[in-house]
Amino acid sequence: MNILNTTESLTSSAVTENTITPNVYRVPVNEMQVCPLDFRYGREAMKRIFDEERRLQCMLEVEAALAKAHAAVGNIPGEHAKLISDRADTGHVKIDRVREIEKSTNHDIMAMVKALTEQAGAAGDHVHLGATSNDIVDTVTAIQLKNALQIIEDDLILLQGTVAELAEKHKGTIMVGRTHGQFAVPLTFGMKMAVYARELQRHLDRLREARPRICVGKMSGAVGTGAALGPHASEIQAQVMKSLGLGVEEASLQLVGRDRYVEYISLLANISCSLEKFAVEIRNLQRSEIGEVAEAFDREKQVGSSTMAHKRNPITCENVCSLARVTRGFIIPTYENVPLWHERDLTNSAAERFTISHASILTDDMLVKMAKVFSNLEVYPERMKANLESAKGLIMAEAVMMAMVRKGVGRQDAHEMMRRISMKAADTGTHLRDQMMADKAVSALFKPEEIDAVLDPKSYIGEAEKTVERTLKELR
Protein backbone atom coordinates (compact mmCIF):
# COMPACT_ATOMS: atom_id res chain seq x y z
CA MET A 1 0.00 0.00 0.00
CA ASN A 2 1.30 3.46 -0.87
CA ILE A 3 0.64 5.83 2.01
CA LEU A 4 0.77 8.85 -0.29
CA ASN A 5 -2.00 7.46 -2.43
CA THR A 6 -3.91 6.65 0.72
CA THR A 7 -3.38 10.22 1.88
CA GLU A 8 -4.80 11.61 -1.33
CA SER A 9 -7.92 9.48 -1.08
CA LEU A 10 -8.41 10.58 2.50
CA THR A 11 -7.89 14.29 2.11
CA SER A 12 -9.44 14.98 -1.27
CA SER A 13 -12.74 13.49 -0.18
CA ALA A 14 -12.66 14.72 3.38
CA VAL A 15 -14.94 17.68 2.78
CA THR A 16 -16.77 16.66 -0.37
CA GLU A 17 -17.70 13.26 1.09
CA ASN A 18 -19.32 14.72 4.17
CA THR A 19 -19.80 18.25 2.84
CA ILE A 20 -20.97 20.09 5.90
CA THR A 21 -22.67 17.28 7.75
CA PRO A 22 -20.51 16.03 10.62
CA ASN A 23 -19.92 12.31 10.21
CA VAL A 24 -19.82 10.72 13.62
CA TYR A 25 -17.44 7.78 13.73
CA ARG A 26 -18.87 4.76 15.53
CA VAL A 27 -16.90 1.97 17.15
CA PRO A 28 -18.39 -1.48 17.71
CA VAL A 29 -20.94 -1.40 20.52
CA ASN A 30 -19.25 -4.25 22.36
CA GLU A 31 -16.04 -2.23 22.85
CA MET A 32 -15.54 -0.04 25.88
CA GLN A 33 -16.11 3.62 25.03
CA VAL A 34 -14.68 6.24 27.36
CA CYS A 35 -13.41 9.10 25.21
CA PRO A 36 -16.26 11.08 23.57
CA LEU A 37 -14.28 10.99 20.33
CA ASP A 38 -15.10 7.30 20.21
CA PHE A 39 -18.82 7.81 19.97
CA ARG A 40 -19.85 11.48 19.88
CA TYR A 41 -17.44 13.95 18.29
CA GLY A 42 -15.35 14.00 15.15
CA ARG A 43 -15.60 12.85 11.56
CA GLU A 44 -14.39 9.58 10.15
CA ALA A 45 -12.08 11.23 7.60
CA MET A 46 -9.97 12.87 10.29
CA LYS A 47 -10.18 10.02 12.78
CA ARG A 48 -8.97 7.63 10.13
CA ILE A 49 -5.64 9.49 10.00
CA PHE A 50 -4.98 8.72 13.67
CA ASP A 51 -6.55 5.27 13.77
CA GLU A 52 -4.28 2.64 15.38
CA GLU A 53 -4.17 0.33 12.40
CA ARG A 54 -3.52 3.19 10.00
CA ARG A 55 -0.72 4.38 12.26
CA LEU A 56 0.77 0.91 12.00
CA GLN A 57 0.50 1.11 8.22
CA CYS A 58 2.34 4.44 8.27
CA MET A 59 5.11 2.94 10.40
CA LEU A 60 5.48 0.11 7.93
CA GLU A 61 5.62 2.61 5.07
CA VAL A 62 8.47 4.40 6.81
CA GLU A 63 10.33 1.12 7.32
CA ALA A 64 9.84 0.31 3.65
CA ALA A 65 11.16 3.73 2.62
CA LEU A 66 14.19 3.23 4.87
CA ALA A 67 14.98 -0.17 3.31
CA LYS A 68 14.71 1.28 -0.22
CA ALA A 69 17.04 4.14 0.71
CA HIS A 70 19.59 1.70 2.13
CA ALA A 71 19.44 -0.29 -1.10
CA ALA A 72 19.84 2.85 -3.19
CA VAL A 73 23.17 3.68 -1.54
CA GLY A 74 24.37 0.06 -1.60
CA ASN A 75 23.99 -0.76 2.11
CA ILE A 76 21.66 -3.72 1.56
CA PRO A 77 20.73 -5.88 -1.46
CA GLY A 78 17.98 -4.50 -3.65
CA GLU A 79 16.01 -7.74 -3.39
CA HIS A 80 15.98 -7.42 0.39
CA ALA A 81 14.61 -3.90 0.14
CA LYS A 82 11.91 -5.16 -2.21
CA LEU A 83 10.98 -8.00 0.09
CA ILE A 84 10.71 -5.68 3.08
CA SER A 85 8.67 -3.21 1.03
CA ASP A 86 6.35 -5.93 -0.27
CA ARG A 87 5.66 -7.15 3.26
CA ALA A 88 5.38 -3.72 4.87
CA ASP A 89 1.63 -3.45 5.05
CA THR A 90 -1.09 -4.45 7.48
CA GLY A 91 -2.17 -7.24 5.16
CA HIS A 92 0.99 -9.06 6.23
CA VAL A 93 1.90 -7.44 9.53
CA LYS A 94 -1.24 -7.85 11.59
CA ILE A 95 -2.03 -5.44 14.37
CA ASP A 96 -3.01 -8.29 16.68
CA ARG A 97 0.45 -9.81 16.23
CA VAL A 98 2.10 -6.47 17.03
CA ARG A 99 0.00 -6.19 20.19
CA GLU A 100 0.93 -9.71 21.17
CA ILE A 101 4.65 -9.00 20.81
CA GLU A 102 4.35 -5.71 22.68
CA LYS A 103 3.05 -7.57 25.73
CA SER A 104 6.50 -9.13 26.10
CA THR A 105 8.70 -6.33 24.76
CA ASN A 106 6.81 -3.47 26.43
CA HIS A 107 7.94 -1.42 23.43
CA ASP A 108 5.50 -0.61 20.65
CA ILE A 109 8.04 0.22 17.94
CA MET A 110 10.14 -2.89 18.63
CA ALA A 111 6.96 -4.95 18.50
CA MET A 112 6.28 -3.60 15.01
CA VAL A 113 9.89 -4.22 13.97
CA LYS A 114 9.76 -7.84 15.17
CA ALA A 115 6.42 -8.45 13.46
CA LEU A 116 7.76 -7.05 10.17
CA THR A 117 10.97 -9.07 10.57
CA GLU A 118 8.88 -12.24 10.87
CA GLN A 119 7.26 -11.46 7.53
CA ALA A 120 10.44 -10.30 5.74
CA GLY A 121 12.10 -13.70 5.69
CA ALA A 122 15.72 -13.53 4.48
CA ALA A 123 15.55 -9.71 4.55
CA GLY A 124 14.55 -9.64 8.22
CA ASP A 125 18.04 -8.71 9.42
CA HIS A 126 17.80 -5.46 7.43
CA VAL A 127 14.51 -4.24 8.93
CA HIS A 128 14.91 -1.00 10.91
CA LEU A 129 18.60 -0.88 10.02
CA GLY A 130 20.35 2.12 11.60
CA ALA A 131 17.10 3.68 12.83
CA THR A 132 15.93 4.63 16.29
CA SER A 133 12.34 4.44 17.47
CA ASN A 134 11.66 8.14 17.08
CA ASP A 135 12.87 8.10 13.50
CA ILE A 136 9.75 6.05 12.91
CA VAL A 137 7.45 7.78 15.41
CA ASP A 138 8.24 11.34 14.38
CA THR A 139 8.14 10.58 10.68
CA VAL A 140 4.75 8.90 11.09
CA THR A 141 3.56 11.96 13.01
CA ALA A 142 4.71 14.15 10.13
CA ILE A 143 2.63 12.05 7.72
CA GLN A 144 -0.38 12.40 10.02
CA LEU A 145 0.12 16.14 10.32
CA LYS A 146 0.41 16.50 6.57
CA ASN A 147 -2.87 14.64 6.07
CA ALA A 148 -4.60 16.51 8.88
CA LEU A 149 -3.50 19.91 7.57
CA GLN A 150 -4.99 19.11 4.18
CA ILE A 151 -8.36 18.38 5.76
CA ILE A 152 -8.16 21.51 7.94
CA GLU A 153 -7.31 23.57 4.85
CA ASP A 154 -10.29 22.13 2.98
CA ASP A 155 -12.50 22.87 5.99
CA LEU A 156 -11.35 26.48 6.19
CA ILE A 157 -12.03 26.97 2.49
CA LEU A 158 -15.51 25.47 2.91
CA LEU A 159 -16.32 27.66 5.91
CA GLN A 160 -14.95 30.76 4.23
CA GLY A 161 -17.17 30.06 1.23
CA THR A 162 -20.34 29.86 3.32
CA VAL A 163 -19.44 33.05 5.17
CA ALA A 164 -18.65 34.84 1.89
CA GLU A 165 -22.05 33.89 0.51
CA LEU A 166 -23.72 35.52 3.51
CA ALA A 167 -21.53 38.60 3.08
CA GLU A 168 -22.62 38.94 -0.54
CA LYS A 169 -26.29 38.30 0.18
CA HIS A 170 -26.46 40.74 3.09
CA LYS A 171 -23.92 43.39 2.12
CA GLY A 172 -26.65 46.04 2.39
CA THR A 173 -28.66 44.52 5.26
CA ILE A 174 -28.43 47.23 7.91
CA MET A 175 -28.28 46.28 11.56
CA VAL A 176 -27.30 47.75 14.89
CA GLY A 177 -23.61 47.73 15.68
CA ARG A 178 -22.89 46.96 19.32
CA THR A 179 -19.96 47.73 21.59
CA HIS A 180 -19.86 46.72 25.27
CA GLY A 181 -23.16 44.97 24.56
CA GLN A 182 -24.81 48.36 23.91
CA PHE A 183 -26.11 50.02 20.76
CA ALA A 184 -23.28 51.78 18.91
CA VAL A 185 -23.74 52.87 15.25
CA PRO A 186 -25.15 51.04 12.22
CA LEU A 187 -23.28 48.58 10.05
CA THR A 188 -24.39 45.79 7.72
CA PHE A 189 -24.64 42.10 8.45
CA GLY A 190 -22.72 41.48 5.25
CA MET A 191 -19.78 43.53 6.54
CA LYS A 192 -19.72 41.45 9.73
CA MET A 193 -19.50 38.33 7.57
CA ALA A 194 -16.78 39.90 5.40
CA VAL A 195 -14.70 40.46 8.54
CA TYR A 196 -15.09 36.76 9.36
CA ALA A 197 -14.11 35.77 5.82
CA ARG A 198 -10.93 37.84 6.12
CA GLU A 199 -10.09 36.21 9.43
CA LEU A 200 -10.47 32.78 7.90
CA GLN A 201 -8.17 33.82 5.07
CA ARG A 202 -5.49 34.73 7.59
CA HIS A 203 -5.79 31.24 9.07
CA LEU A 204 -5.39 29.77 5.58
CA ASP A 205 -2.30 31.93 5.04
CA ARG A 206 -0.84 30.79 8.37
CA LEU A 207 -1.55 27.15 7.61
CA ARG A 208 0.08 27.29 4.19
CA GLU A 209 3.08 29.16 5.52
CA ALA A 210 3.53 26.78 8.47
CA ARG A 211 3.00 23.52 6.56
CA PRO A 212 6.65 23.07 5.43
CA ARG A 213 7.87 23.74 8.99
CA ILE A 214 5.35 21.32 10.50
CA CYS A 215 5.44 18.38 8.07
CA VAL A 216 9.00 17.31 8.78
CA GLY A 217 10.39 13.86 9.56
CA LYS A 218 13.79 12.51 10.56
CA MET A 219 15.94 9.47 9.91
CA SER A 220 19.19 10.16 11.72
CA GLY A 221 19.50 7.56 14.45
CA ALA A 222 19.83 7.54 18.20
CA VAL A 223 21.06 11.09 18.85
CA GLY A 224 20.83 12.54 15.37
CA THR A 225 24.37 11.87 14.16
CA GLY A 226 23.35 9.19 11.69
CA ALA A 227 26.29 7.05 12.79
CA ALA A 228 24.39 3.76 12.52
CA LEU A 229 23.22 4.63 9.01
CA GLY A 230 26.79 4.76 7.72
CA PRO A 231 28.59 7.22 5.46
CA HIS A 232 25.48 7.90 3.38
CA ALA A 233 23.30 8.89 6.35
CA SER A 234 22.26 12.29 5.00
CA GLU A 235 21.41 10.82 1.62
CA ILE A 236 19.35 8.05 3.24
CA GLN A 237 17.41 10.56 5.31
CA ALA A 238 16.76 12.78 2.29
CA GLN A 239 15.56 9.83 0.18
CA VAL A 240 13.21 8.56 2.90
CA MET A 241 11.56 11.94 3.37
CA LYS A 242 11.30 12.62 -0.35
CA SER A 243 9.56 9.29 -0.93
CA LEU A 244 7.06 10.15 1.83
CA GLY A 245 6.50 13.72 0.67
CA LEU A 246 7.93 15.27 3.81
CA GLY A 247 10.49 17.87 4.73
CA VAL A 248 13.77 16.92 6.38
CA GLU A 249 14.73 17.88 9.93
CA GLU A 250 17.94 19.72 9.08
CA ALA A 251 19.58 19.09 12.45
CA SER A 252 18.09 16.96 15.15
CA LEU A 253 18.97 15.06 18.28
CA GLN A 254 16.74 12.06 18.82
CA LEU A 255 13.53 13.99 18.13
CA VAL A 256 12.07 16.25 15.52
CA GLY A 257 12.04 19.69 17.15
CA ARG A 258 8.90 20.01 19.25
CA ASP A 259 8.66 23.70 18.37
CA ARG A 260 7.10 22.36 15.16
CA TYR A 261 4.29 20.74 17.14
CA VAL A 262 3.88 23.93 19.16
CA GLU A 263 3.28 25.77 15.89
CA TYR A 264 0.73 23.17 14.78
CA ILE A 265 -1.30 23.09 18.00
CA SER A 266 -1.09 26.89 18.27
CA LEU A 267 -2.51 27.16 14.77
CA LEU A 268 -5.43 24.93 15.71
CA ALA A 269 -5.95 26.86 18.94
CA ASN A 270 -5.99 30.12 17.00
CA ILE A 271 -8.58 28.70 14.62
CA SER A 272 -10.64 27.54 17.59
CA CYS A 273 -10.61 31.10 18.97
CA SER A 274 -12.15 32.39 15.75
CA LEU A 275 -14.74 29.62 15.70
CA GLU A 276 -15.78 30.39 19.25
CA LYS A 277 -15.91 34.09 18.40
CA PHE A 278 -18.25 33.38 15.46
CA ALA A 279 -20.38 31.04 17.55
CA VAL A 280 -20.66 33.50 20.43
CA GLU A 281 -21.88 36.20 18.03
CA ILE A 282 -24.59 33.93 16.64
CA ARG A 283 -25.61 32.90 20.15
CA ASN A 284 -25.94 36.53 21.19
CA LEU A 285 -27.83 37.58 18.07
CA GLN A 286 -30.20 34.64 18.63
CA ARG A 287 -31.10 35.81 22.13
CA SER A 288 -34.86 36.24 22.45
CA GLU A 289 -34.60 39.98 23.04
CA ILE A 290 -32.39 40.44 19.94
CA GLY A 291 -33.59 37.72 17.55
CA GLU A 292 -31.68 38.87 14.47
CA VAL A 293 -30.33 35.47 13.40
CA ALA A 294 -30.85 31.86 14.44
CA GLU A 295 -29.40 28.43 13.88
CA ALA A 296 -31.55 26.31 11.61
CA PHE A 297 -34.10 24.23 13.51
CA ASP A 298 -36.00 21.16 12.36
CA ARG A 299 -39.51 22.20 13.29
CA GLU A 300 -40.87 18.74 12.56
CA LYS A 301 -38.66 16.66 14.86
CA GLN A 302 -35.99 18.63 16.73
CA VAL A 303 -36.41 19.09 20.48
CA GLY A 304 -35.09 22.26 22.10
CA SER A 305 -35.79 21.32 25.70
CA SER A 306 -37.01 18.25 27.55
CA THR A 307 -39.51 20.43 29.42
CA MET A 308 -39.88 23.82 27.68
CA ALA A 309 -41.48 22.85 24.39
CA HIS A 310 -41.04 26.28 22.83
CA LYS A 311 -37.24 26.36 23.06
CA ARG A 312 -34.94 26.78 20.03
CA ASN A 313 -31.46 26.73 21.46
CA PRO A 314 -28.24 27.50 19.52
CA ILE A 315 -26.87 24.11 20.49
CA THR A 316 -24.33 23.72 17.69
CA CYS A 317 -22.74 27.07 18.44
CA GLU A 318 -22.69 26.21 22.13
CA ASN A 319 -21.07 22.89 21.29
CA VAL A 320 -18.39 24.66 19.26
CA CYS A 321 -17.68 27.03 22.15
CA SER A 322 -17.25 24.08 24.49
CA LEU A 323 -14.98 22.11 22.15
CA ALA A 324 -12.90 25.22 21.38
CA ARG A 325 -12.00 25.45 25.06
CA VAL A 326 -10.88 21.82 25.10
CA THR A 327 -8.81 22.36 21.96
CA ARG A 328 -7.01 25.36 23.43
CA GLY A 329 -6.35 23.30 26.54
CA PHE A 330 -3.84 21.23 24.55
CA ILE A 331 -1.56 24.25 24.26
CA ILE A 332 -0.05 23.86 27.74
CA PRO A 333 1.13 20.23 27.44
CA THR A 334 2.37 20.95 23.91
CA TYR A 335 4.55 23.81 25.13
CA GLU A 336 5.73 21.73 28.07
CA ASN A 337 6.79 18.94 25.69
CA VAL A 338 9.56 21.16 24.30
CA PRO A 339 12.04 21.17 27.23
CA LEU A 340 13.19 17.54 27.49
CA TRP A 341 16.30 16.06 29.16
CA HIS A 342 19.42 16.09 27.00
CA GLU A 343 18.82 14.41 23.63
CA ARG A 344 15.38 13.15 24.68
CA ASP A 345 13.24 11.56 27.34
CA LEU A 346 9.74 10.10 27.32
CA THR A 347 7.84 12.85 29.15
CA ASN A 348 6.40 14.09 25.87
CA SER A 349 5.28 10.73 24.55
CA ALA A 350 2.03 10.05 26.38
CA ALA A 351 0.88 13.65 26.12
CA GLU A 352 1.40 13.72 22.35
CA ARG A 353 -0.82 10.66 21.93
CA PHE A 354 -3.64 12.93 23.13
CA THR A 355 -2.73 16.41 21.99
CA ILE A 356 -2.07 15.97 18.29
CA SER A 357 -4.90 13.59 17.46
CA HIS A 358 -7.53 15.15 19.69
CA ALA A 359 -6.80 18.75 18.69
CA SER A 360 -6.91 17.77 15.02
CA ILE A 361 -10.16 15.83 15.30
CA LEU A 362 -11.88 18.54 17.34
CA THR A 363 -10.77 21.36 15.04
CA ASP A 364 -12.07 19.52 12.00
CA ASP A 365 -15.32 18.81 13.84
CA MET A 366 -15.80 22.46 14.82
CA LEU A 367 -14.98 23.82 11.37
CA VAL A 368 -17.50 21.58 9.67
CA LYS A 369 -20.16 22.35 12.27
CA MET A 370 -19.70 26.09 11.84
CA ALA A 371 -19.88 25.71 8.05
CA LYS A 372 -23.21 23.95 8.53
CA VAL A 373 -24.44 26.68 10.89
CA PHE A 374 -23.57 29.49 8.48
CA SER A 375 -24.87 27.70 5.39
CA ASN A 376 -28.28 27.23 7.04
CA LEU A 377 -28.31 30.40 9.13
CA GLU A 378 -31.70 32.08 9.40
CA VAL A 379 -31.28 35.86 9.07
CA TYR A 380 -34.11 38.22 10.01
CA PRO A 381 -33.66 41.67 8.36
CA GLU A 382 -37.03 42.86 9.66
CA ARG A 383 -35.95 42.17 13.23
CA MET A 384 -32.73 44.03 12.55
CA LYS A 385 -34.80 46.98 11.33
CA ALA A 386 -37.05 46.82 14.38
CA ASN A 387 -34.01 46.86 16.68
CA LEU A 388 -32.65 49.87 14.82
CA GLU A 389 -35.94 51.67 15.30
CA SER A 390 -36.10 50.73 18.97
CA ALA A 391 -33.05 52.91 19.53
CA LYS A 392 -35.26 55.95 18.83
CA GLY A 393 -32.51 57.64 16.88
CA LEU A 394 -29.87 57.43 19.62
CA ILE A 395 -27.53 55.30 17.52
CA MET A 396 -27.32 58.24 15.11
CA ALA A 397 -25.87 60.67 17.68
CA GLU A 398 -22.41 60.37 16.14
CA ALA A 399 -23.83 60.99 12.67
CA VAL A 400 -25.50 64.16 13.91
CA MET A 401 -22.29 65.27 15.60
CA MET A 402 -20.35 64.87 12.35
CA ALA A 403 -23.07 66.78 10.47
CA MET A 404 -22.68 69.61 12.99
CA VAL A 405 -18.93 69.68 12.36
CA ARG A 406 -19.59 70.01 8.64
CA LYS A 407 -21.73 73.04 9.47
CA GLY A 408 -18.87 74.69 11.32
CA VAL A 409 -19.39 73.58 14.91
CA GLY A 410 -16.23 72.49 16.74
CA ARG A 411 -15.98 68.74 17.23
CA GLN A 412 -15.80 68.91 21.03
CA ASP A 413 -18.70 71.37 21.23
CA ALA A 414 -20.77 69.19 18.92
CA HIS A 415 -20.01 66.12 21.05
CA GLU A 416 -21.10 67.86 24.24
CA MET A 417 -24.31 69.12 22.62
CA MET A 418 -25.22 65.62 21.40
CA ARG A 419 -24.22 64.02 24.70
CA ARG A 420 -26.58 66.34 26.56
CA ILE A 421 -29.44 65.88 24.09
CA SER A 422 -28.94 62.09 23.92
CA MET A 423 -29.03 61.73 27.71
CA LYS A 424 -32.25 63.72 27.84
CA ALA A 425 -33.83 61.58 25.11
CA ALA A 426 -32.79 58.39 26.89
CA ASP A 427 -34.04 59.61 30.29
CA THR A 428 -37.41 60.68 28.93
CA GLY A 429 -37.87 57.82 26.47
CA THR A 430 -38.37 60.25 23.62
CA HIS A 431 -36.98 60.13 20.11
CA LEU A 432 -33.68 61.88 19.48
CA ARG A 433 -35.36 63.83 16.68
CA ASP A 434 -37.82 65.38 19.11
CA GLN A 435 -35.06 66.50 21.44
CA MET A 436 -33.07 67.93 18.52
CA MET A 437 -36.09 69.89 17.32
CA ALA A 438 -36.68 71.18 20.85
CA ASP A 439 -33.09 72.36 21.26
CA LYS A 440 -32.69 75.90 19.94
CA ALA A 441 -29.00 75.57 19.08
CA VAL A 442 -29.49 72.35 17.13
CA SER A 443 -32.73 73.31 15.42
CA ALA A 444 -31.03 76.49 14.24
CA LEU A 445 -28.45 74.38 12.40
CA PHE A 446 -30.78 71.93 10.66
CA LYS A 447 -34.01 72.08 8.74
CA PRO A 448 -36.52 69.33 9.66
CA GLU A 449 -35.81 67.42 6.45
CA GLU A 450 -32.07 67.61 7.16
CA ILE A 451 -32.65 66.11 10.58
CA ASP A 452 -34.64 63.27 9.03
CA ALA A 453 -31.86 62.62 6.53
CA VAL A 454 -29.06 62.59 9.08
CA LEU A 455 -31.04 60.26 11.35
CA ASP A 456 -31.54 57.69 8.58
CA PRO A 457 -29.30 54.69 9.37
CA LYS A 458 -28.84 54.05 5.63
CA SER A 459 -26.95 57.33 5.39
CA TYR A 460 -24.35 56.27 7.96
CA ILE A 461 -22.90 52.90 7.01
CA GLY A 462 -19.77 54.40 5.51
CA GLU A 463 -17.87 51.92 3.36
CA ALA A 464 -19.59 48.84 4.73
CA GLU A 465 -20.80 47.71 1.32
CA LYS A 466 -17.49 48.55 -0.35
CA THR A 467 -15.69 46.54 2.32
CA VAL A 468 -17.79 43.52 1.37
CA GLU A 469 -17.19 44.06 -2.33
CA ARG A 470 -13.42 44.43 -1.86
CA THR A 471 -13.29 41.36 0.34
CA LEU A 472 -15.20 39.17 -2.10
CA LYS A 473 -13.12 40.38 -5.04
CA GLU A 474 -9.80 39.76 -3.31
CA LEU A 475 -10.70 36.41 -1.76
CA ARG A 476 -12.20 34.99 -4.91
pLDDT tens for each residue of 448-472: 999 999 999 999 999 999 999 999 9
The per-residue pLDDT for 21 is 53
Catalytic residue among 12, 13, 104, 305: 305
The per-residue pLDDT for 28 is 53
The per-residue pLDDT for 32 is 78
The per-residue pLDDT for 310 is 72
In angstroms, what is the C-alpha Rg of the chain?
Answer: 30
> Is the pLDDT assigned to residue 25 strictly greater than 70?
no
The answer to whether residues 60 and 116 touch, using CB atoms and an 8 Å cutoff, is yes
305 catalytic? Reply is yes
Three-state DSSP at 315 gives helix
> Is the pLDDT assigned to residue 26 strictly greater than 80?
no
Our CA dihedral for 145, 146, 152, 158, rounded to 10 degrees, sits at: -170
Residue 163 half-sphere exposure toward CB, CA atoms < 13 A: 30
The conformational region for residue 51 under phi > 0 = left, psi -120 to 50 = alpha, else beta, is: beta
Mean pLDDT across 186-192? 98
Three-state DSSP at 295 gives coil
pLDDT digits 0-9 by tens, 118-172: 999 999 999 999 999 999 999 999 999 999 999 999 999 999 999 999 999 999 9
- Which is nearest to 361 in space by CA: 284, 457, 268? 268
pLDDT digits 0-9 by tens, 272-297: 999 999 999 999 999 999 999 999 87
CB-neighbour burial class of residue 349 (10 A; exposed 0-12, middle 13-18, buried 19+)? middle
In 189-263, the DSSP E strands lie at 216-217, 247-248
Mean pLDDT across 179-194? 97
The per-residue pLDDT for 6 is 39
Name the pTM for this structure: 0.91
Positive/negative CA dihedral, 175, 176, 177, 178: negative
Query: Crossing angle, helix 464-475 and helix 189-214, to 10 degrees?
Result: 30
Q: With bands split at pLDDT 50, 70 and 90, how would you rate the model's confidence at 33? A: confident
> Is the pLDDT assigned to residue 17 strictly greater than 60?
no
The per-residue pLDDT for 11 is 41
pLDDT digits 0-9 by tens, 201-240: 999 999 999 999 999 999 999 999 999 999 999 999 999 9
pLDDT digits 0-9 by tens, 350-405: 999 999 999 999 999 999 999 999 999 999 999 999 999 999 999 999 999 999 99
The per-residue pLDDT for 303 is 73
Query: How large a percentage of the chain has pLDDT more than 70?
Result: 92
pLDDT digits 0-9 by tens, 167-184: 999 999 999 999 999 999
Q: With bands split at pLDDT 50, 70 and 90, how would you rate the model's confidence at 20? A: low
Say how far residue 414 (Cα) sits from the centre of its chain.
Answer: 46
232 catalytic? Reply is no
